[in-house]
Amino acid sequence: MRKSILRSVSAALLSVVLSSTALFAQGRVTFSSIPLGTPYKTFSRELKGRAFKYYAQRTEDDVFLGQVKRYVYRGSVNGNPADVHILCSSKSETVYEVELYLKNLIDMDEAYEEANQLLQEELNPYKWMVKEDDAPSISSVMKVDISANKHFLNQVAIYDGGARFRLYESEEQADTGQSIGFIKADVLLFMGKSVVDFTFSDAQALKKAEGEK
């Protein structure tokens, strides 16, 4: 029932609420109100304050960034068991990306419901966004003036897989493609289980990580 409702939502109604917070003013992408672009120790301290516990870490080779560090924490988001992967640059350990995985979901209907609830919460601080479907085309890329459409917050939705939401501080930035980063949301079936997969990426922090290669 919930999924069928989400499918009926027009992409033209996508919107989120304007919030003039300090974090947004700094031009940073946030996860659970924690700004990316901060040192790993600062980010992990905030995450632990949300009852997440350290689980594992490893060093990985990235094609564009060279060696990077991945830290894994476990906890819950909106009552669902969740893993949070923190990706950091190798030298300064600056957090440039966060991956979130919601697990133990009953079926795809519940996965879509939980994904869209979280999506509304995480998009809340931003003023402008461009939504891109999984297979972007001229018709599926859409710029949204958030501040002019506050009442459409409950109609922000993903369906048939997922979408990427590029984030901007102003209309001028959206017009020129100068994004502060993006939030990508996916709902998928993995080894017979429904999974919600979010990626939060900060453009400034990513650029800094590239400089440390």
Q: What is the pLDDT of residue 146?
A: 52
Q: What is the pLDDT of residue 10?
A: 29
Q: Which two tokens stand for residue 125?
A: 């601080």
Q: What is the pTM of this model?
A: 0.81
CA distances from 53 to 73, 81, 103, 116 (A): 5, 12, 16, 25
Q: Is the dihedral of CA 174, 180, 182, 183 positive or negative?
A: negative
Give the chain's residues under pLDDT 50. Answer: 1-25, 135-140, 150-155
Q: What is the pLDDT of residue 164?
A: 85
Q: What is the pLDDT of residues 18-29, one digit of tens each?
A: 233 333 436 899
Q: What is the pLDDT of residue 157?
A: 56
The neighbour count for residue 114, using CB atoms within 10 Å, is 20
Distance CA 95, CA 83 (A): 16
Quote helix, strand, coil % in the chain, to nearest 5. Answer: 30, 40, 30
The residues spanned by each domain of the chain are 2-211
